[in-house]
Structures are given as structure tokens and as C-alpha cells.
Structure 1
Amino acid sequence: MPSLNPFNPLLGRVSAWSVESQLGARRNAMIASTALAARRAEREDVDAFFASLKSREQVLQVAVAPRR
């Protein structure tokens, strides 16, 4: 037999809200963490690329022949 207490449906909604809110916050945190990890990986790739390039002085020494 269902309860005749008028606050029973309200308590159920409040209880469900807290669980749904926590699940939504967890989902948002996981999405943000994934995006940050992707940005970090891209930044490390760019840093590695620039580190592998020769310095400007080395390039100019080879590309420009000395004048006589």
C-alpha cells in the first residue's frame, strides 16, 4: 500500500537530484580531464618538434657562404 505521506515524493526527488548532480559533475570532470590530456600531449609534440630543429645560427652558417 502506498504511503499517504505528502512529503514522500519530494524526498525521493531530492534524493535522486543529489545522485544525478554528482554523476553529472563526475562526467564533466572526466570530459575536462580528457581535453586537458589531449592539449598537454599536443603541446609536448610541438615542444619536441621545435627542440629537434637546428638553431638559427647553425642554419645561417650553412646557408650563407662567407664573402671574400
Structure 2
Amino acid sequence: MADDTPRTLAQRFFRTCLFILGGILALWLALELLAQLWGWLLLTAGVAAFIWAVVWFIRWRRDRQW
């Protein structure tokens, strides 16, 4: 069952500090993973943009000729 006793100010402060620490650790981990994958993400976006541009150019040329 849930404990209905009110928490003291020190308990709430400690719990808040733990939540902030957990958030900082999660952000740090996300930034570390992003730093490792950043180059691959840019390469993938560049290849996708190039393919889109080629398809757009081919369709534009085909529509222009007829």
C-alpha cells in the first residue's frame, strides 16, 4: 500500500537532486551517442538529398522535353 505520510523537505530535495542527476546522465549519454553517429547521419542525409535532386532533375528534364 502507498505510504500516506508527508515527505520532509530534505527527502523532497534529495529526490529532486536524484532526478536532476538522472536527467544530466541521460543527456550526456545522448550527446556521446550523437557524437559517434554524427558523421554517418550527415553522410546519409547528403546521399538522400543527392538522390532526391537527381530524381527531381530527371523528372524536370522529362517533363520539359514533351
TM-score by length of 2: 0.50
Between Structure 1 and Structure 2, the one with more helix by share is 2
Greater Rg, structure 1 or structure 2?
Answer: 1
TM-score by length of 1: 0.48
